Amino acid sequence: MYKQVFNKKVGVMVKIHMMKAQEGDFIWLSYGDMEKEHHLLIDGGVKDCRERYADVVRSISAKGESIEAIILTHIDCDHIAGACEGIAKVDAGILQRTVKKIIFNASKKIHKEILVSKNSGEYGVKEGIEFCKILKEKGIYDRIVERTIAGEIINLENGALLKVISPGEKQLEKLLDKWESYEKKQLSVGYSPNLEKVKQNLADLMRDKSGIDSSVNNASSIALLFEYQNIKGAFLGDAKPSICMEGMKEFDIKDVYPVDFVKLSHHGSIANTNLKLLKKLPTVNYLLSTNGHEKKVPSKVVIAKLLRNCQEENKPKIVLYCNYDWWESQYHNKYFTQKDRQLYIDTGVLKINLLGGEGTSVKDGLILYGK
């Protein structure tokens, strides 16, 4: 079902499938050479992604390859539900042969603490408990990494590694001690209405003061720096910028950490991106996973910040790689004003790339897909 193509010239390849996950995240990363690939599954999208998630796991197993890590960045439903229900559909023998480790902070000790909250209606907690239950039934619960916090390095096969920059110890303790109790229909912090901002020009939004995400779930989100050969990238989950910057200090990153791409935090929400973090992770390539989520994301202020950083760092352009055409489907092509188009889109300073099944090359050895 999922065809994997290598660049014969390069030999080494990193492929990132930013799967269609509605308002959520579901990323399938493959790395390796023409002989063999290794795989990471980062989050699993909403529950409607379950069949696709199961298909990916089965396709990897059918090739005799391994999932180096299943990573659930945090327990919000738009990240965990598809993985939870997808794994439930896969034969236990396939999972036991294929999955090497599971990186998931709502587990083991945390799992014991949250059992009492099973019927509380808390956002994502029920799914976290259900996920642990399914892992036990499938015989892979023992593959869970005890806990994952900033400063840790996760070594993977063939020389790849992950550097954890979020959460910190304090944020993980808060996840144990305090669980958010609000209805799923409520807006989380950072999902402020986008319609008024859309009417404004990007140039006028560059100095906009954003809010701060106070969500315990997002504060505990796992964020990672990925390294393989000459390719580096940042997967920020729904993490908070201040926590990521603090976590980078654990690796003695005092100045900048140049990357080939950044997967924007929290689907481009206003409270999860700031200029300081953008400057710490210099790149022109930004991955954005969202269908527009009822016109809540991506925040136009975030795109303005990307452009402002582009100007201040003397970059020629920024490229947004998207898995949905949210600017058309949600905003009917009115997301960008006429001035936005004249200043940024028509000049190529802002390029929006809708990813598809054919793949888009970012650099030699790095290809992005949208499904």
Tokens describing residue 230: 């000459």
Map out the domains of the chain with their CATH numbers: 13-370 (3.60.15)
Picking from 280, 291, 260, 310, the residue whose alpha carbon sits closest to that of residue 371 is 291
What is the pLDDT of the chain when averaged over all its residues? 85
Stretch 270-277: mean pLDDT: 90
Q: What is the pLDDT of residues 209-242, one digit of tens each?
A: 765 544 545 567 899 999 999 999 999 998 999 9
Alpha carbons 267 and 269: distance in angstroms, whole number: 6
* φ/ψ (deg, to 5) at 271: -90, 0
Residue range 117-170, pLDDT digits in tens? 334 334 455 667 788 889 999 999 999 987 899 999 999 999 999 999 999 888
H or E element that contains 237 = none
